[in-house]
Amino acid sequence: MASGSFWDRINGFPAFQTSLLCIIRLGEPMVFTSIFAYIFFMIQDFKIAKTPAEIATYAGYLLASFAIFQFLFCVQYAQASTKFGRKPVLLFGVLGTGVSSLLFGFSQSFTMAMIARSMMGALNGNIAVLRVAIGEVAVEKRHESLAFSMLAMTWGVGSIIGPLIGSSRYLTRPKALNNLNILGYDAFVEKFPYALANIVLAGYLFTSFVLGLLFLEETSVDHKNRRDYGLELGDIILGKLFRKKMPTRPWTVLAQEQQLGSTTYSEACEDERNPLIPSNQVYSAVEDQDREGEDVEEDEVDEYNDPPLVSLRFGEAARRRYSSEQLGPVLSNDAKSFISTNLKQSFTKEVLTFPVIQTVTSNFLLCFHAILYSEFYPVLLASPYLAEQLKFPFVLTGGFEWNTQDIGHLLSTTGIMGTLTVLIVFPILDHHLKSITILRISFALVPLAYFVIPYILFATKYATVSLYAASLIQTILVSISFASLMILIHRASPKKHRPLINGANLSLNSLARGISPLLFGHFMTWCDERKAGEVPWIVLSIIALLCLIQSFTMKDYGEDEDEDGQEGVDGVIEA
What's the pTM value of the predicted model, to 2 decimals? 0.68
DSSP character at residue 571: E
**Over residues 103-112, mean pLDDT:** 94
| Whether pLDDT at 342 is above 80 | no
Phi and psi angles of residue 399, each rounded to the nearest 5 degrees, phi first: -155, -145
Q: Which is nearest to 419 in space by CA: 29, 31, 97, 93?
A: 29
Reported as type and span, the H/E element at residue 556 is: strand 556-561
Q: Which is nearest to 153 in space by CA: 134, 170, 171?
A: 134
Residue 322 domain-assigned? Answer: no
Stronger pLDDT, 487 or 125, i.e. the higher one: 487
**Over residues 394-404, mean pLDDT:** 83
Of the listed ranges 7-16, 182-191, 325-334, 341-350, the one predicted with least confidence: 325-334
Q: Which pLDDT belongs to residue 9?
A: 67
Neighbours of 388 (CB within 10 A): 7
* CA dihedral sign, ordered 381, 383, 388, 394: negative
Burial of residue 326 (number of CB atoms within 10 Å: 0-12, 13-18, 19+): exposed
Which residues, 6 or more positions from 183, have their beta carbon under 8 angstroms from its beta carbon?
A: none
Q: Which pLDDT belongs to residue 245?
A: 73
DSSP sequence for 425-443? IHHHHHHHS-HHHHHHHHH
Stronger pLDDT, 50 or 332, i.e. the higher one: 50
| Whether pLDDT at 251 is above 50 | yes
| Whether pLDDT at 369 is above 70 | yes
Q: Which pLDDT belongs to residue 321?
A: 40
Of the listed ranges 46-50, 102-106, 396-400, the one predicted with least confidence: 396-400
Residue 72 domain-assigned? Answer: yes
Residue 356 domain-assigned? Answer: no
**Max avg pLDDT among 73-87, 147-161, 280-294, 495-509:** 73-87
- In terms of C-beta distances under 8 Å and separation of at least 24 residues, what long-range contacts does 43-48 make, across chains too? 43/110, 44/174, 45/174, 45/175, 45/193, 46/109, 46/110, 46/113, 48/110
Stronger pLDDT, 9 or 264, i.e. the higher one: 9
In sequence order, what are the beta bridge partners of 572?
557
The total number of structural domains that make up the chain: 1
What band does 566 get if pLDDT is binned at 50, 70 and 90?
very low
Q: What share of the chain is helix, strand, coil (3-state, %, to 5)?
A: 75, 5, 20
Instruction: With beta carbons less than 8 A apart as the criterion, state whether 351 and 501 touch.
Output: yes
| Whether pLDDT at 483 is above 80 | yes
Q: Check which CATH number belongs to the domain holding 67 and give it.
A: 1.20.1250.20
What band does 347 get if pLDDT is binned at 50, 70 and 90?
low
Residue 351 domain-assigned? Answer: no
Residue 44 domain-assigned? Answer: yes
Q: Which pLDDT belongs to residue 114?
A: 94
Per-chain mean pLDDT for the chain: 78
Of the listed ranges 91-100, 326-335, 505-514, the one predicted with least confidence: 326-335
Residue 330 domain-assigned? Answer: no
Segment 454-480, tens digit of pLDDT: 999 888 888 999 999 999 999 889 988
Give the structural domain span for 481: 6-226+361-573
**Over residues 170-196, mean pLDDT:** 76
**Max avg pLDDT among 82-86, 219-223, 418-422:** 82-86
Q: Which pLDDT belongs to residue 263?
A: 56
Residue 183 domain-assigned? Answer: yes
- For 567, the 3-state DSSP assignment is strand
Segment 10-44, tens digit of pLDDT: 777 888 889 999 999 999 889 988 998 898 889 98
DSSP sequence for 48-108? --SSGGGHHHHHHHHHHHHHHHHHHHHHHHHHHHHHH-HHHHHHHHHHHHHHHHHHHHT--
**Over residues 425-452, mean pLDDT:** 89
Q: Which pLDDT belongs to residue 97?
A: 93
Vertex 228 angle, CA 225 and 230, to 5°? 160
Residue 337 domain-assigned? Answer: no
- For 535, the 3-state DSSP assignment is helix
Q: Which pLDDT belongs to residue 331?
A: 42
